[in-house]
């Protein structure tokens, strides 16, 4: 076995090439982002506030549907028990995807600017793996940092329905909505936020993305934007996996199906991948311009 005394100094300080080195850099960047995000008391306070709001909405819906008045629309329309399950799930998770998605984006928007101020871009440029491993690690670290509190929020809301007398199937419904709607939409959201933050001022990204997110979720004014296959709010998914009679869309001509719902999920995942590639290109172009200036 080779002793440490025979190892050359260069072997100890020069970063190595190869897959293991790249994976190590991704893992290191991911752990650093996780640690920095989870040490921010503002992150946990923000998620606690959003979760508290969703708990109130969930409790209100669970109690109301447990004791429907005789003249209720749902009684007149003869809603079945599975449809009531879907209504309660939709009532909470539709708001959850919108609020948690916006919060996730705003909590990661400052990460690129911070690294730029600290000179991290130049350090990453000097490593054998370059920007690729750095971007992937930063993305995964920030994504997991916002995914875990959101998951806990969904679980708490589901447990509230069970505590109020609804069956355990509600836990499955909420987790299904989390996987089918929030996971793909938040992947695209976090990736897009990092891309915009790589070349735009922080305040511009904060204001611009917030307005765009509200538009694509609520559809106020420009229905064409909301109805595209890029929609992150579950517009294509809820009618297929959580069917509810008379669930209206902001666009009266809107139609969906199982293939379109699956396409919507695939498009969001591909958007995240493409956006990360564009972020890499953005950093490389900025570095080239800086070196040639």
pLDDT in tens, 47-106: 999 999 999 999 999 999 998 888 888 888 888 899 999 999 998 999 999 899 999 888
Residues 207-217 pLDDT 10s? 988 888 888 87
pLDDT at res. 34: 93
pLDDT at res. 222: 54
pLDDT at res. 169: 95
pLDDT band of residue 5 (cuts 50, 70, 90) is: very low
Q: Is the pLDDT of residue 13 over 60?
A: no
> Mean pLDDT of all residues in the chain?
85
Question: How far apart (Å, rounded) are the C-alpha atoms in residues 163 and 166?
Answer: 7
Q: Is the pLDDT of residue 240 over 50?
A: yes
Q: Average pLDDT of 267-284? A: 93
Q: Average pLDDT of 236-252? A: 78
Q: Is the pLDDT of residue 206 over 60?
A: yes
The distance from CA 261 to its chain's CA centroid, rounded to whole angstroms, is 18
> Would you state the structure tokens that stand for residue 141, as one six-digit string?
């670290």
pLDDT at res. 276: 94
pLDDT at res. 253: 74
Angle between helices 81-108 and 202-218 (to 10 degrees): 170
CA angle 101, 105, 108 (to 5 degrees): 140
pLDDT at res. 133: 84
Smallest CA-to-CA distance from 133 within 287, 11, 279, 254 is with: 279
pLDDT at res. 77: 82
Q: Is the pLDDT of residue 153 over 50?
A: yes
Q: What percent of the chain stands above pLDDT 90?
A: 48
Which region among 99-108, 178-187, 228-237, 251-260 has the lowest average model confidence (pLDDT)?
251-260
pLDDT at res. 156: 97
pLDDT band of residue 202 (cuts 50, 70, 90) is: confident
pLDDT band of residue 223 (cuts 50, 70, 90) is: low
pLDDT at res. 11: 38
Q: Average pLDDT of 245-263? A: 78
Q: Average pLDDT of 159-175? A: 96
Smallest CA-to-CA distance from 193 within 155, 141, 139, 241 is with: 139
Residues 117-144 pLDDT 10s? 766 666 665 555 567 888 899 999 999 9
Question: How far apart (Å, rounded) are the C-alpha atoms in residues 191 and 193?
Answer: 5
If 0-12 CB within 10 Å is exposed, 13-18 middle and 19+ buried, where does residue 41 land? Answer: exposed
């Amino acid at each position: 076995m080779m002793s440490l005394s025979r190892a050359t100094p260069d072997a100890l300080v020069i970063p190595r090439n190869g897959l293991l080195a790249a994976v190590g850099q991704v893992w290191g960047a991911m752990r650093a982002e996780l640690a920095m995000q989870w040490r921010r008391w503002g992150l946990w306070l923000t998620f606690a506030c959003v979760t508290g709001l969703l708990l109130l909405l969930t409790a209100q819906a669970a109690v109301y549907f447990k004791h429907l008045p005789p003249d209720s629309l749902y009684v007149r329309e003869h809603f079945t028990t599975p449809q009531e399950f879907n209504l309660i799930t939709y009532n909470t998770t539709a708001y959850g995807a919108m609020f948690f998605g916006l919060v996730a984006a705003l909590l990661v928007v400052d990460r690129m600017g911070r690294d730029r101020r600290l000179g991290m871009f130049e350090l990453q440029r000097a490593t054998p793996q370059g920007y690729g491993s750095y971007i992937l690690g930063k993305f995964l670290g920030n994504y997991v940092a916002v995914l875990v509190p959101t998951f806990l929020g969904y679980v708490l809301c589901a447990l509230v329905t069970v505590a109020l007398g609804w069956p355990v199937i509600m836990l499955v419904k909420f987790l299904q909505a989390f996987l089918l709607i929030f996971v793909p939409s938040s992947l695209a959201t976090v990736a897009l936020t990092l891309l915009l933050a790589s070349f735009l001022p922080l305040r511009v990204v904060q204001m611009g993305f917030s307005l765009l997110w509200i538009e694509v979720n609520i559809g106020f004014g420009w229905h064409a934007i909301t109805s595209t296959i890029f929609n992150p709010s579950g517009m294509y998914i809820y009618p297929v996996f959580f069917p509810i009679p008379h669930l209206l869309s902001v666009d009266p001509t809107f139609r969906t199906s199982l293939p379109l719902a699956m396409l919507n999920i695939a498009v969001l995942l591909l958007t995240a991948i493409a956006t990360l590639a564009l972020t890499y290109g953005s950093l490389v172009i900025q570095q080239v311009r800086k070196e040639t200036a």
